[in-house]
Amino acid sequence: MPRPRVFVSRVIPDAGLIPLREHCDVEVWPHNRAPSRDELIAACRDKDALVCLLTEKIDAAVLAAIPSVKIVANVAVGFDNLDVPAATAAGVVMSNTPGVLDETTADLAFALLMCAGRRLGEAERLMRSGTWTGWGIMQLMGQDINHATLGIVGFGRIGRALARRAAGFAMSVQYTDAVPAPADVAAGLNARFVDMDELLKTSDFVSLHVPLLPSTHHLIDAKAFAKMKKTAVLINTSRGPVVEEAALAAALRDGTIAAAGLDVYEHEPNISPELAALENVVLLPHIGSASVATRGKMAEIAARNVIAYFAGEAPPTALNPEVFERRAKG
Ligand code: NAD
């Protein structure tokens, strides 16, 4: 049997490339930018599989243009860039990388929470400006993290990992979710279920961990900011469009809320100039899962899905496993 031909849409860690190269003929996009839609289609024309990143939108039209591709392995847990129903209809398996980045992303969310709460971005800029005049009792006063109330929106893998970190800071944890967690899980994390309104009204820190879906698009808008405490800090490590960015900039500028820490943006890689001009927001370039170990594990899982598929085994983290099962039976 000929070796499967795979297109990888960016250089990924060796933990993924080495096993892929052992089993497949691999072409890697060599540039330090995402391929355009046309470039991706051209590169996939003669391929059996695609390993892609969240910057590649794989919708029905792209799938129709690359009919030789049988599996699309996303190197990310969020898969709002993939049209899974269209892939299922086209008989294409899609996979993501759940479970290996929860702790790393929760670390970053907590780092952002501390950074935005204690105004570390502003403090660092002050030091670098050469204008610091020395210790000042009124200088750069922020919000306490210890004993504050943390509101977690989306209590899945990453939301729960964040709750574990909050325990070390004696935070009071409350959460909201479309599906409340089992009572023993919530009790184990000392987390109380509240509705969205109560969470917004009573939290000192609001951290977002929902997937991007039609139901979560602009979940946090001007109305939501109006409900939050003036001292509240918003953290977003989920997906940019979960927050209405223009409303966030207005809320930060007008003092509707105190601060924000962001890893993701509504129109990546662009950020609104209003946000960039504000002191009370910490801005990171979508690095939630960016530890050496975790990015390696993500690349490896994507590779394992492709390798399993062509070995006739179920891809371990398929989003539409029924497509593989159908093929195996047929
Ligand atoms: P998960 O599926 O384990 O948890 C998501 C939770 O959100 C679930 O409990 C679900 O019930 C809940 N939810 C869904 N729709 C909701 C709604 N309308 N209202 C309230 N709750 C709702 O996902 P996860 O692994 O914890 O990841 C969450 C998201 O974080 C991913 O989808 C991804 O977009 C994002 N993410 C970002 C980075 C980064 O680099 N910044 C890294 C990893 C994941």
Measured in angstroms, how far is the CA atom of residue 156 from the centroid of ligand 1?
A: 6
| Residue 131: burial class (beta carbons within 10 Å; 0-12, 13-18, 19+) | exposed
Measured in angstroms, how far is the CA atom of residue 155 from the centroid of ligand 1?
A: 8
Helix, strand, coil fractions of the chain, as percent rounded to 5: 40, 15, 45
CB 101 within 8 A of CB 288: yes
Q: From the alpha carbon of 108, which atom of ligand 1 is closest?
A: 41
Known catalytic membership, residue 239:
yes
Identify the residue whose C-alpha is closest to ligand 1 atom 14.
Answer: 210
pLDDT in tens, the chain (330 residues): 789 999 999 999 999 999 999 999 999 999 999 999 999 999 999 999 999 999 999 999 999 999 999 999 999 999 999 999 999 999 999 999 999 999 999 999 999 999 999 999 999 999 999 999 999 999 999 999 999 999 999 999 999 999 999 999 999 999 999 999 999 999 999 999 999 999 999 999 999 999 999 999 999 999 999 999 999 999 999 999 999 999 999 999 999 999 999 999 999 999 999 999 999 999 999 999 999 999 999 999 999 999 999 999 999 999 999 999 998 887
Identify the residue whose C-alpha is closest to ligand 1 atom 9.
Answer: 156
Ligand 1 pocket, Cβ-based, cut-off 6 angstroms: 77-78, 98, 101, 105, 154-159, 177-179, 209-213, 215-216, 237-239, 263-264, 286, 288-289
Residue 262, H or E segment: strand 259-262
Looking at residue 30, the DSSP 8-state letter turns out to be: -
* Alpha carbons 65 and 41: distance in angstroms, whole number: 7
| Domains delineated in the chain | 5-100+292-329 (3.40.50.720), 102-283 (3.40.50.720)
User: Whose structure tokens read 């979940």?
Assistant: 219
Measured in angstroms, how far is the CA atom of residue 78 from the centroid of ligand 1?
A: 7
Provide the pLDDT for residue 1.
73
**CA separation (Å) from 222 to 9, 62, 188, 232, 275?**
37, 35, 34, 14, 15
Tokens of 228: 């939050």
Measured in angstroms, how far is the CA atom of residue 47 from the centroid of ligand 1?
A: 31
Tokens of 246: 């223009």
Provide the pLDDT for residue 188.
98
Q: Which of 81, 96, 177, 242 to mutate to test the pocket of ligand 1 (most atoms within 8 A of CB)?
A: 177
Provide the pLDDT for residue 329.
82
Strand partners, 233: 205, 259
* Alpha carbons 69 and 76: distance in angstroms, whole number: 19
* Alpha carbons 228 and 232: distance in angstroms, whole number: 6
* Alpha carbons 289 and 297: distance in angstroms, whole number: 10
- What phi, psi does 93 have (nearest 5°)? -80, 140
* Alpha carbons 327 and 316: distance in angstroms, whole number: 16
**CA separation (Å) from 136 to 117, 122, 128, 133?**
18, 15, 17, 8
CB 275 within 8 A of CB 263: no
Known catalytic membership, residue 217:
no
Measured in angstroms, how far is the CA atom of residue 326 from the centroid of ligand 1?
A: 28
The 3-state DSSP class for residue 183 equals helix
Known catalytic membership, residue 267:
no
Q: Which of 55, 77, 206, 262 to mutate to test the pocket of ligand 1 (most atoms within 8 A of CB)?
A: 77
CB under 8 Å to 108, separation ≥6 — which residues? 237, 263, 284, 287, 288, 289, 290
Tokens of 320: 């539409």
Provide the pLDDT for residue 90.
98
Which is the catalytic residue, given 239, 295, 300, 304? Answer: 239
